[in-house]
Amino acid sequence: MYAVIKTGGKQYRVSAGDKIKVEQIAADVGQELVFTEVLAVASEGKIAVGTPLVSGATVKVNVIVHGLHDKVRIFKMRRRKHYQKRQGHRQAYTTLFISEINSSLGTASAVYTAPAAYTPEAK
């Protein structure tokens, strides 16, 4: 079972148990969110496409971590004019774990288990 959700101006195809990186969401780590902007849901060969949203369909997610993508370097130059401009940008993101998909076609769920904390070995 999968669903197509909309967040941050983009669309994502998600299944229960997936981890996705989306535009930064103002939520605490560990918080559970519910997306109601579900554009399509498919299960066992059946598909429900919304106009524009599928009524009654929801996707529950858990916030795992917030972070920054790699730096994108911007360099502008005008030849023979001694003009150079350097700039950088790091886009913020939020990693989400898809825990449950609910719709009239059925329900799919998964359980998130956090990785064990890092403990350096004693020398």
Asked whether the predicted pLDDT for residue 59 surpasses 80, the reply is yes
Give pLDDT tens digits for 5-46: 999 999 999 999 999 999 999 999 999 999 999 999 999 999
21 vs 119, more confident: 21
Average pLDDT across the chain, whole number: 93
SS3 of 16-61 = CCCEEEEECCCCCCCCEEEECCEEEEEECCEEEECCCCCCCCEEEE
d(CA 61, CA 116): 20
pLDDT band at 118 (very low <50, low <70, confident <90, very high): low
